[in-house]
Structure 1
Amino acid sequence: MDKFTTLTGVAAPLKITNVDTDMIIPKQYLKTIKRTGLGAGLFHEMRFTEDGKENPDFVLNKPAYRKAQVLVAGDNFGCGSSREHAPWALLDFGIRCVISTSFADIFYNNCFKNGILPIKVSPEDLAKLMDDAERGANATLTIDLEAQEVRGPDGGTVKFDIDPHRKHCLLNGLDDIGLTMEKAKKIEHFEEKARALRPWH
């Protein structure tokens, strides 16, 4: 998993509440267990018309936001089913951070396991960041995980809270496998001891 330390990137405003995981990545994309290629299906029903053409009104299709790395979204982001394909699709598109007032628990947990930083802020701070994100090509935010702050294009700062263990994992690029590998020497020592005590195994 890629480390998340400081990210400076374009922030796209998604002024929609209750964005569920089916909106993020529709069911027809769930046949794969690969984490790559899903960016093409991200927000498919909003990004494309019924005949497969791009919807010019959708935020991620606008020139200023095509390479957005931050999503500033409405309340209760990631609700619905527990599909891990949702954070996979966001990451494959290039989104490394989602900011909202609240997230569905399973989606929130899945973000951390896949290298995406979900940031919870107050409604007042979300309104400020949404305003920043609506500046088009000038909608650049800096996310500093170590300092736990979001810096806007005008120098304004929004602080955020995060669980220390999750912060450690993101800063060091550790998913569940990476966390286990940190204890590789202890596991090896335990196995050697077990073999010595039970040589018949």
Structure 2
Amino acid sequence: MIRKIIEINEEKCNGCGLCAKACHENAIGMVNGKAKLLRDDYCDGLGDCLPTCPTGAITFVEREAAAYDEAAVEANKRKKNRQWPIQIQLTPVNAPYFDGADLLIAADCTAFAYANFAKEIQKGKITLIGCPKLDPVDYSEKLTAILEQNDVKSVTIIRMEVPCCGGIQNAAVTAMKKSGKFIPWQVLTVSVEGEVL
């Protein structure tokens, strides 16, 4: 069928990943440092990605394309968000749920200290947890391997305000640097009173 769908100009794409993050259908992914339309049937043609592109690499075109398949999009979201285990030491380095994922690296106390953790922080993210004080390991090597071997869209680090939680933040930042990839990231800090600072 002929329909409106996005087109990405690879020459204009700077690899920032903002469009992939804005695409709620997971139709856009980062491949070799460039945004790519992964499946025509995942693109709803509404263009949530357009205003996020700082270089104007995304436009609409009308062309032969598979019809938008909402059921397939929803099934893909459920599949991508299904993961086990979540402990950093136990999770595999390469798993399908990491590709195109918004990764959440959490100090394990944060899920218990912040009451809306699952609804506000974890929702839609692939989650890895650990305790830098109790686990006798440097997470940076494992996290580096995960970032190097998978197409992670973004990283959110959540930690408690206590000094020992700095270890999880340091490991994640070190891993992002060692991976050699530009991945949008942020750090959230939870107070001992259970509020995001």
Q: How does the TM-score come out when normalised to structure 1? A: 0.28
Answer 1 or 2: higher relative contact order, Cα 8 Å, separation at least 6: 1
> Whose strand fraction is larger, Structure 1's or Structure 2's?
2
> Whose helix fraction is larger, Structure 1's or Structure 2's?
1
Instruction: Flag the structure with larger Rg.
Output: 1
Q: How does the TM-score come out when normalised to structure 2? A: 0.28
